[in-house]
Amino acid sequence: MKRLKVALSAAILAVSTLPGLAQSDAINSPFVVAINHEPDTLDPSISVNTVISRPTLENIVEPIVALDAEGNLVPGVADFAYSEDGTVLTFTIKEGVTFHNGMPLTADDIVFSHERMAERSSIYQSRLRNFDRVEKVDERTVRFIFKSPDVTYLPPRNLTVLSKAYYDEVGEEGFVANPVGTGPYKLVSYTPGQSMELEAFEEYHGGAPDVKSVRFVFVKEDSTRVAMLRAGEADLVLNVPFSDRNALADDGYTIEEVAVTPTVSVQFTLNNPDVPWHDVRVRRAIAHAIDADGIVQGLFDGVPKRHAAFGPNEVGFDPELENYAFDPALAKELLAEAGYPDGFDMPLIWWRGENSGLKETAEAVSIYLQQVGINTDVSSLDVPDFVGKIRAAKGEGSQEAWVGITPTPLAEYFDPTIALAFTFWSASPFAQWKNDDFDALVSKAVQTVDPEERAPMVVEATRILHDQVPQIPLWNNVSVYGMKPGVSYRPAPRHLVRASLADIEIAGE
């Protein structure tokens, strides 16, 4: 694991080259990370959206498995191994792993973490479809037993390590308000809507972090985060707008780009049979009405990618699958065929506060749809409210009637099979669509351990998606990080946007 390596003599020479930072400030001030969203809760076991909670909380409360620089799963607080038939997953806790309060990590904590999340976390629940039981073997060993192999359980790293003894000591309220984990940083303070202060955990099992003080600053406005970087008020900025990427690089700031989930998509509420887009012809019309290539090139300087489903390096990539072509005339024909020759009115809601570019995408989509007679009322919702609205639209016969511009797990997710299961499988708490053929393919794929055997199932499933259009992929995210000169950080690919503080380097000059 990379570490922040700043020898004192090198730091004294180097800090003068960092914009807006005095020598004493570089040593004594917190390392400031400007991030565009804050966690929905300080307890990851009850978070409804790990995308917004994990960048901060993973530094405090760790998943049971870690990632290497290439995004591969590696042992974290515990070693792990599957049985030959893939139905038994054994965790063996490493020696010397302790919580921030000094208590050792034990098998009881792993069992407690699992049981709490199985009861409270809908995301974790979605990973347990083939789960049978958990068994404590001894104080350092736990077995997770599955009814059949399940490739969706481990890669998302949803099981986070919580302390049973701490919960028993402080109760529910204290446990949620003041998290104690095994991560490289301890929580010092949290001011909702403003900032989070962390300090290094000197007894961290991976080695004491060299950065002793960190401040996350929650800044939703993209331009403000960039201005903070330029003013020397932030050392690292997450989710730099695509349009600012080249200017920052030209001005000497360090830029890193990593292909990560999500895929920004048009999401349809499909459990209400009375909405125009319940008709697949209308959904195809909308797909043909939007010039997504124009959005990528004209608004985002060509930084995001565009895949019809998955990327070339992913299991189940289909080279024959192509994005819907921009064809307004065909869109109008399909609308007329579906009984809407004059179009219709439609609420269009974009997902605010997580990824850059959704507002601009929603505004562009609104303009394109207007050209084919679909008038949109564009609005936005913060992540927790949007998630609640998705849940409300889940039930059959729902009266929800809106279309969203949302960040969807699809390309560059932990595994394509997991993306399909999480986003479109009718058993998922977030799916807005049901197709029996698709469900059967995904049900089989999640139990198929061999990627070569699983790939044809993924291909067939994505072709069903492409034909039935429950969502329209518009562009695939590239996470852009902006850093002061001398700061270096490259997060792992194929996962969520991360801010793993222990992986940051500051190079002396």
Tokens read off for 36: 């565009």
Q: What is the pLDDT of residue 354?
A: 66
Q: What is the pLDDT of residue 11?
A: 30
Task: Find the helix or strand (DSSP H, E) in which 172 lies.
Answer: helix 164-177
Contact 4, 187 (CB under 8 A): no
In eight-state DSSP terms, residue 223 is: H
Contact 21, 484 (CB under 8 A): yes
**Rounded distance between C-alpha atoms, residue 225 and residue 353, angstroms:** 13
Please tell me the number of Cα atoms within 13 Å of 420 on its side-chain side: 32
61-182 matches 1-55+184-253+484-509 in CATH topology: no
Architecture of domain 61-182: Alpha-Beta Complex (3.90)
Collapsing DSSP to helix, strand or coil, 123 comes out as helix
Domain locations in the chain as residue ranges: 1-55+184-253+484-509, 61-182, 261-478
Please name the amino acid found at residue 482.
Answer: G
Q: What is the pLDDT of residue 504?
A: 85
Per CATH, the homologous superfamily of domain 261-478 is: Dipeptide-binding Protein; Domain 3 (3.10.105.10)
In eight-state DSSP terms, residue 343 is: -
Classify residue 106 as left (phi > 0), alpha (psi -120 to 50) or beta.
beta
For helices 416-423 and 436-445, give the axis angle rounded to 10 degrees.
Answer: 140
Give Cβ neighbours of residue 428 (< 8 Å, ≥ 6 apart).
126, 421, 422
For 256-269, write each residue's pLDDT tens digit.
998 888 899 999 99
Residue 476, beta-bridge partner list: 263, 305
**Rounded distance between C-alpha atoms, residue 211 and residue 319, angstroms:** 45
pLDDT in tens, the chain (509 residues): 333 333 323 332 333 333 333 333 444 579 999 998 899 999 999 988 887 899 999 999 999 999 888 888 999 999 999 998 889 999 999 999 999 999 999 999 999 999 999 999 988 987 898 899 999 999 999 999 999 998 889 988 999 999 999 999 999 999 999 999 999 999 999 999 999 999 999 999 999 988 889 999 999 888 999 999 999 999 999 989 998 999 999 999 999 998 888 899 999 999 999 999 999 999 999 999 999 999 999 999 999 999 999 998 899 999 999 999 999 999 999 999 999 999 999 999 999 866 778 999 999 999 999 999 999 999 999 888 888 888 888 877 788 999 999 998 999 888 899 999 989 999 887 888 999 999 999 999 988 888 899 999 999 999 999 999 999 999 999 889 999 998 988 888 777 778 889 888 877 53
Q: What is the pLDDT of residue 503?
A: 86
For 68-90, write each residue's pLDDT tens digit.
888 889 999 999 999 988 899 99
Question: What order do you get walking across the sheet with 31-35 strand by strand?
Answer: 185-191, 195-200, 213-218, 31-35, 236-237, 471-483, 254-268, 403-408, 344-352, 374-382
Closest by CA to 187, choosing from 157, 166, 158, 165, is 166
In eight-state DSSP terms, residue 486 is: T
Given the candidates 3.30.390.50, 3.40.190.10, 1.10.260.40, 2.40.110.10, the CATH classification of the domain at 1-55+184-253+484-509 is 3.40.190.10
Tokens read off for 270: 């499909």
Contact 236, 486 (CB under 8 A): no
Q: What is the pLDDT of residue 342?
A: 96
Work out whether strand 374-382 and strand 344-352 pair parallel, antiparallel, or are unpaired.
parallel
For 34-46, write each residue's pLDDT tens digit.
998 899 999 999 9
Q: What is the pLDDT of residue 338?
A: 98
In eight-state DSSP terms, residue 451 is: H
Give Cβ neighbours of residue 197 (< 8 Å, ≥ 6 apart).
30, 187, 188, 189, 190, 213, 214, 215
Q: What is the pLDDT of residue 397?
A: 76
Q: What is the pLDDT of residue 355?
A: 74
Closest by CA to 442, choosing from 459, 457, 427, is 457
